[in-house]
Amino acid sequence: MATLEAFWRLTGAGWALVRADALIPRELEPLLPPSAKLAGRVLRLFAGPAARKGRPGERLAAVLERQGPAAIKMGQFLSTRADIFGAAFADDLSRLKDRLPAFPLSVAKAEIARNLGKPLDEIFAEIGEPVAAASLAQAHPATLVDGQKVAVKVLRPGVERQVARDTAVLRLAARLAETLVPVSRRLRPTEFVEVVIRALELEMDLRFEAAGCAELGEAMAKDPYMRAPAVCWEGVGKRVLTLSWAEGAPLSDPAALDLPGLDRKALAENVTRGFLAQALDHGLFHADLHEGNLFIAAPAAITAVDYGIVGRLGPGERRYLAEILYGFLNRDYARVAKIHFDAGYVPAHQDMDAFAQALRAVGEPVFGRNAREVSMGRLLAQLFEITALFDMALRPELVLLQKTMVTVEGVARRIDPTHDLWAAADPVVRRWIGRELSPAAKARDFAEEAIRAIKALARLAETPTTPPPVAAERLHTWPLLWFLVGAATAGAAFVTGVLLAR
Catalytic residue annotation: 288
The alpha carbon dihedral of 326, 331, 335, 338 has a sign of: positive
Three-state SS string across 90-140, please?
HHHHCHHHHECCCCCHHHHHHHHHHHHCCCHHHCEEEECCCCEECCCEEEE
Angle of helix 264-277 relative to helix 399-415, nearest 10 degrees, comes to 170
Going by C-beta distance under 8 Å and a sequence separation of 6 or more, which residues neighbour residue 77? 290, 403, 406, 407
Going across the sheet that includes 249-250, the strands are 249-250, 294-297, 301-304
User: SS3 for 417?
Assistant: coil
Cα(27)–Cα(55) distance, integer angstroms = 8
**Number of alpha helices (DSSP H) and beta strands (DSSP E) in the chain:** 20, 10
Best CA proximity match to 259, nearest among 288, 301, 200, 321: 301
User: SS3 for 240?
Assistant: strand
User: SS3 for 313?
Assistant: coil
Cα(53)–Cα(59) distance, integer angstroms = 7
